[in-house]
Amino acid sequence: MQKSRSSGSEVVDATGSQKSVVLELASRFGTRVVVLGSGFGGVSFVKSFLSHASSSLLDSVELVWVTKRNYHLFSPLLYQVAGGLVDEHHVLDPLPHFGGNRVRVVEAEVEAVDFTGRAVYTDVGPIGYNYLVVALGSSSNDFGIPGVKENTLPLKTAQDGERIRNRILASFGQAAIIGADSPERVALLTFAVVGGGATGVELAGTIRDYTGLLAKRYGFRRQDVRVLIVESAGTLLPGIGGRLPEKCRQDLESAGIDVRLGARVVKVDVEGVHLSNGELIESRNVFWTAGVKPNPVIEGIPETVAPKKKGRLEVDSNLRLIGHSEVYVVGDCAWVNTGGDTTAAPQTAAAAVQEGEYAGSHLAHTLGGKKVSGSFIYHDQGIMLSLGRFSGLVELANGIILSGLIGWLVWRMVHLVSIATARNKLGVMFDWGLSLVRRRIITRTD
Ligand SMILES: Cc1cc2nc3c(=O)[nH]c(=O)nc-3n(C[C@H](O)[C@H](O)[C@H](O)COP(=O)(O)OP(=O)(O)OC[C@H]3O[C@@H](n4cnc5c(N)ncnc54)[C@H](O)[C@@H]3O)c2cc1C
- Domain of 387, CATH number, reads 3.50.50.100
Please report, in tens digits, the pLDDT of each residue of the chain (446 residues total): 333 333 333 443 434 444 444 566 666 668 999 999 999 999 999 999 999 999 999 999 999 999 999 999 999 999 999 999 999 999 999 998 998 889 999 999 999 999 999 999 999 999 999 999 999 999 999 999 999 999 999 999 999 999 999 999 999 999 999 988 899 999 999 999 999 999 999 999 999 999 999 999 999 999 999 999 999 999 999 999 899 999 999 999 999 999 999 999 999 999 999 999 999 999 999 999 999 999 999 999 999 999 999 999 999 999 999 999 999 999 999 999 877 777 779 999 999 999 999 999 999 999 999 988 799 999 988 899 999 999 999 998 888 999 999 999 999 999 999 999 999 999 999 999 999 999 999 999 99
Is residue 392 lining ligand 1, measured as CB closer than 6 Å? no
Is residue 206 lining ligand 1, measured as CB closer than 6 Å? no
**Final residue of a structural domain among 307, 338, 367:** 367
Task: Name the residue of 335, 348, 380, 384 whose CB sits within 8 Å of the most ligand 1 atoms, as the mutation to test its pocket.
Answer: 348
For residue 337, is it within any domain? yes
Gap from CA of 182 to ligand 1 centroid (Å): 40
Same domain, 160 and 125: no
List the strands of the sheet with 125-128, edge to edge: 110-114, 119-122, 125-128
ipTM of this predicted structure: 0.99
At 9 the pLDDT is: 38
For residue 133, is it within any domain? yes
For residue 388, is it within any domain? yes
Residues 6+ apart with CB under 8 A from 185: 175, 178, 179, 224
Q: What is the pLDDT of residues 218-263, one digit of tens each?
A: 999 999 999 999 999 999 999 998 999 999 999 999 999 999 999 9
Q: Whose CA is nearest to atom 27 of ligand 1?
A: 137
At 17 the pLDDT is: 45
Q: Whose CA is nearest to atom 7 of ligand 1?
A: 76
Q: Where are the alpha helices (DSSP H) in 313-421?
A: 349-367, 404-418
Same domain, 272 and 310: no
Is residue 200 lining ligand 1, measured as CB closer than 6 Å? no
Is residue 415 lining ligand 1, measured as CB closer than 6 Å? no
Same domain, 285 and 297: no
**Final residue of a structural domain among 323, 339, 367:** 367
Q: Whose CA is nearest to atom 3 of ligand 1?
A: 76
Among candidates 378, 298, 368, 362, which has minimal Cα distance to 325? Answer: 362
For residue 99, is it within any domain? no
Same domain, 15 and 49: yes
* Helix, coil or strand: residue 211: helix
Report d(CA 126, CA 105) in Å as an integer: 15
Is residue 137 lining ligand 1, measured as CB closer than 6 Å? yes
Same domain, 117 and 238: no
| Segments forming the whole domain that contains residue 44 | 3-68+108-140+293-367
For residue 442, is it within any domain? no
For residue 84, is it within any domain? no
Report d(CA 158, CA 34) in Å as an integer: 25
**Largest Cα–Cα distance in the chain?**
75
Is residue 83 lining ligand 1, measured as CB closer than 6 Å? no
Report d(CA 156, CA 81) in Å as an integer: 11
**Final residue of a structural domain among 367, 393, 422:** 367
Asked if residues 231 and 245 have their Cβ atoms less than 8 Å apart, the reply is: no
At 1 the pLDDT is: 34
Number of domains in the chain: 2
Q: Whose CA is nearest to atom 49 of ligand 1?
A: 38
Asked if residues 301 and 313 have their Cβ atoms less than 8 Å apart, the reply is: yes
Is residue 298 lining ligand 1, measured as CB closer than 6 Å? no
**Angle formed by the axes of helices 244-254 and 198-218, nearest 10°:** 10
Same domain, 397 and 275: yes
Residues 6+ apart with CB under 8 A from 426: none
Is residue 135 lining ligand 1, measured as CB closer than 6 Å? yes
**Angle formed by the axes of helices 349-367 and 40-52, nearest 10°:** 30
Give 192-205 as a DSSP string.
EEE--SHHHHHHHH
Is residue 354 lining ligand 1, measured as CB closer than 6 Å? no
Asked if residues 73 and 59 have their Cβ atoms less than 8 Å apart, the reply is: no
At 24 the pLDDT is: 64
Same domain, 237 and 274: yes
Is residue 91 lining ligand 1, measured as CB closer than 6 Å? no
CB atoms within 10 A of CB 207: 29
Same domain, 250 and 160: yes
Is residue 77 lining ligand 1, measured as CB closer than 6 Å? no
Q: Tell me the CATH number at 10.
A: 3.50.50.60
At 399 the pLDDT is: 85
Q: Whose CA is nearest to atom 21 of ligand 1?
A: 349
Same domain, 198 and 270: yes
Is residue 394 lining ligand 1, measured as CB closer than 6 Å? no
At 18 the pLDDT is: 45
Same domain, 312 and 283: no
- In sign, the C-alpha dihedral spanning 281, 149, 330, 312 is positive
At 324 the pLDDT is: 96
Same domain, 300 and 286: no
Q: Whose CA is nearest to atom 30 of ligand 1?
A: 137
Gap from CA of 180 to ligand 1 centroid (Å): 41
Q: Which residues pair with 393 in a beta bridge?
A: 385, 403
Same domain, 40 and 134: yes
For residue 342, is it within any domain? yes
For residue 97, is it within any domain? no
